[in-house]
Amino acid sequence: MLRYPKGPITVPASMAHAVANWPDEVFLQTMGENPVTFAEADRASDALAAGLAALGVIKGDRVCTLMDTHAEAVVLWLAILKLGAVSAPINTSYLGEFLRHQVADCGARVVIAESHYVDRVAALAGGLPDVGLLVVRGAEVPVTAPWPTMDYSTLARDPAERPQVEVLPADLAMLIYTSGTTGPSKGCMLSQGYMCQHANTMIRGHDMQRGDVVWMPLPLFHLTGLVGLVFNAVRQGATIDIIPRFSVSNFWNEIEKSKATMALLMGSMLALVARAPECEAEKRCFGQLEKVIGAPLPEDVKTVWQQRFGVKRIGSPGYGQTECAIAVALKVGEPQKPGTTGKRYEDYDVRILDDNGEECPPNVTGEICIRPNVVHGMFDGYWNQPEQTVRIWRDLWLHTGDLGQFDDDGNMIFVDRKKDYLRKGGENISSTEMDMAFMKRPEIQDVCIHAVPSELAEDEVKVTYVLSEGMELDERTLCAWAIENIPAFAVPRYYERVADLPRTPNGKVRKIELREAGITDATWDRQASDLAKKPRRAGVAA
């Protein structure tokens, strides 16, 4: 029998609980300044909800937002959900068709945007038939748009005017769009109950506690920052220190000023801070951070954070997706076997299935498939795309499109995205593991290992990489290093330096674009060099 998530199971109920229990504690601050208490955020969101209701926004309406990372974006999100309306936050990097598709797809009548994004929206007027009002935040001069516009500063009304709407756990709360690396992005339908369950899974792994100050550099149009950290603070009574933009050089000054006890860093952030020169603020902050969560987390980077920075507990955020929360994790600081993600969380049934739907034995790679043991444990499908919903929910399992395996002790190993997995010389190659291996080179700021077409039956492997500022690393040197440090069957044939990697507006590398580019005039070929037949140094395992 499915269980219900623990604690309040709507966002408004969770906020009411916070105000009843810790009204005067700081909920939000920005880089250590401008504190906002839970009670203040509650009143401000009531005022915005009253304003939205006066515009005709009712339960079930979608409200599209293009907001930067600041406290007001959090308050607006709470206001939308208090009305039972649906928040549709858009990645602020979006423009053109990426932006048009999502605003049009969600069918929002009201769009709320920072003034510096208005031109992007206005340029799409012909493709946004449902939009009827553009609310502009921060405009110092009148803006030009093809719809009626409103100054955001006039939106709020008397908090007492906020309609008392019955909001239920099953009600749709958000549309979060996938990145769409191979096609148009899909809107994940997330219920009020799912918001709370997703927060529960993150609380389990992060161990956020009342009184924690959390350094938060993540955007508020993704679930990790908005729900995994900000909404967790509502449920736990912690403080979120909002960082509008990540900066390696400012990191320790921000930690010191905010008095942060916890931080979450994603992508290359962990490695970049670990590689940065020592500074005085870093010394003063030694041991201040009690908990750090991040991924990827190779052992050498983990050691730096523990020994050089004095972090007491460090761990990875676990495995999950927008569609299914965090299903595999360990509590931060728990012993974690190198190379593994964690263990199954009791709220989810996680299996490794082969192409025939049969469960794989331990240490055998297959697709990670998940189903919930708790009510509202997963998304409700893709907005306006029933065929895509049916496709991902085969045999009552959510097919994640990711490859993994469990070891004999029940630890899950994430292997790769199914579509990105490589095969060479009869051996499988994980692009994820290869990326991590090449990122150990200090000269490399960013890298992508991907396939390119070959004249043979199998694709060839190519390294496309971006140099760290002020560093030099030619392709031949990198290839020679790979021969000595990468399994022989996985050593890439092709190498190419680029100024930047192509990315989706969500920040994911567009591997399909790199694969289609293939071999360019700038590509270095091992087979055409003196390293074509270089033997591996004695004693190095293949």
- CATH code, domain with 353: 2.30.38.10
Return the H-helix or E-strand segment holding 104.
helix 96-106
Counting Cα atoms < 13 Å in the Cβ hemisphere of 252 gives: 22
**Rounded Cα distance, 349 and 370, in Å:** 6
Asked if the structure places residue 389 within a domain, the reply is: yes
Tell me which of 417, 440, 461 is where a domain ends: 417
Contacts of 250 (CB under 8 A, 6+ apart): none
Q: Which two tokens stand for residue 255?
A: 């930690």
* Residue type for position 505: P
187-191 and 172-177 as β-strands: parallel, antiparallel, unpaired? Answer: antiparallel
Tell me which of 417, 450, 472 is where a domain ends: 417
The whole-model pTM stands at 0.84
Q: Are residues 154 and 218 in the same domain?
A: yes
**Rounded Cα distance, 328 and 205, in Å:** 9
**Among 231, 204, 234, CA closest to 218:** 231
Identify the pLDDT of residue 539: 40
Q: Are residues 87 and 235 in the same domain?
A: yes
Residue numbers of the domain that contains 350: 319-328+344-417
Contacts of 358 (CB under 8 A, 6+ apart): none
* Cross-strand pairs, 29: 241
Q: What is the end-to-end Cα distance of the chain in Å, rounded? A: 49
**Among 507, 452, 514, 515, CA closest to 180:** 507
Contacts of 1 (CB under 8 A, 6+ apart): none
**Rounded Cα distance, 396 and 119, in Å:** 44
Q: What is the DSSP letter of 4?
A: P
* Residue type for position 70: H
Q: Are residues 142 and 218 in the same domain?
A: yes
Q: Are residues 404 and 452 in the same domain?
A: no
Identify the pLDDT of residue 201: 87
**Among 255, 265, 243, CA closest to 314:** 265
Cβ burial of 81 (10 Å; 0-12, 13-18, 19+) is buried
Q: Are residues 407 and 513 in the same domain?
A: no
Tell me which of 245, 269, 300 is where a domain ends: 245
Q: Please report where in the chains the tokens 């009342």 appear, as a residue.
A: 210
Asked if the structure places residue 306 within a domain, the reply is: no
**Among 325, 346, 358, 492, CA closest to 425:** 492
* Cross-strand pairs, 463: 449, 495
Q: Which two tokens stand for residue 474?
A: 């030619």
Identify the pLDDT of residue 139: 80
**Rounded Cα distance, 192 and 175, in Å:** 11
Is there a contact between 399 and 369 (Cβ–Cβ < 8 Å)?
Answer: yes
Q: Are residues 395 and 436 in the same domain?
A: no
Q: How many CB atoms lie within 10 A of CB 262?
A: 26
Asked if the structure places residue 127 within a domain, the reply is: yes
Q: How many CB atoms lie within 10 A of CB 288?
A: 18
* Cross-strand pairs, 397: 394
Q: Please report where in the chains the tokens 């709407």 appear, as a residue.
A: 165
Q: Are residues 404 and 425 in the same domain?
A: no
422-424 and 427-429 as β-strands: parallel, antiparallel, unpaired? Answer: antiparallel
**Among 437, 425, 509, CA closest to 461:** 425
* Cross-strand pairs, 414: 404
Q: Are residues 425 and 482 in the same domain?
A: yes
62-66 and 86-89 as β-strands: parallel, antiparallel, unpaired? Answer: parallel
Q: Are residues 56 and 114 in the same domain?
A: yes
Counting Cα atoms < 13 Å in the Cβ hemisphere of 483 gives: 19
pLDDT tens sequence for the chain (542 residues): 677 777 788 999 999 999 999 999 999 999 999 999 999 999 999 999 999 999 999 999 999 999 999 999 999 999 999 999 999 999 898 888 888 999 999 999 999 999 999 999 999 988 999 999 999 999 876 778 899 999 999 999 999 999 999 999 999 999 999 865 556 789 999 999 999 999 988 888 888 999 999 999 999 998 989 999 999 999 999 999 999 999 999 999 999 999 999 999 987 788 889 989 999 999 999 999 999 998 878 888 899 999 999 999 998 888 988 999 899 988 887 888 888 888 998 899 999 999 999 999 999 999 999 999 999 999 999 999 999 899 999 889 999 999 999 999 999 998 888 877 777 766 778 787 788 889 889 899 999 999 887 765 567 899 999 999 889 999 999 999 999 888 888 899 999 999 999 887 666 788 888 888 889 999 999 999 999 876 655 444 33
Q: Which two tokens stand for residue 403?
A: 């490859």
Q: Are residues 402 and 518 in the same domain?
A: no
Identify the pLDDT of residue 479: 95
244-251 long-range contacts (CB < 8 A, ≥24 apart) are 244/30, 244/31, 244/68, 244/69, 244/70, 245/69, 245/217, 246/217, 248/272, 248/273, 248/276, 249/276, 251/276
Asked if the structure places residue 278 within a domain, the reply is: no
Q: Are residues 132 and 200 in the same domain?
A: yes
Q: Are residues 91 and 155 in the same domain?
A: yes
213-216 and 262-266 as β-strands: parallel, antiparallel, unpaired? Answer: parallel
- CATH code, domain with 171: 3.40.50.12780
**Rounded Cα distance, 529 and 526, in Å:** 5
Q: Which two tokens stand for residue 505?
A: 């507006």
Cβ burial of 218 (10 Å; 0-12, 13-18, 19+) is buried
The runs of H, that is alpha helices, within 287-414 are: 299-307, 386-392
Total tally of structural domains belonging to the chain: 3
Is there a contact between 526 and 483 (Cβ–Cβ < 8 Å)?
Answer: no
- CATH code, domain with 473: 3.30.300.30
Cis bond upstream, residue 296 (ω within 30)? yes
Supply the DSSP string of 250-265, one letter for each residue: THHHHHHHHT-SEEEE
Asked if the structure places residue 291 within a domain, the reply is: no
Asked if the structure places residue 302 within a domain, the reply is: no
Q: At what angle do helices 38-54 and 71-82 cross, to 10 degrees?
A: 60
Contacts of 427 (CB under 8 A, 6+ apart): 487, 489, 490
Asked if the structure places residue 10 within a domain, the reply is: no
Supply the DSSP string of 146-189, one letter for each residue: SS-EEEGGGT---GGGS------TTSEEEEEE---SSSS--EEE
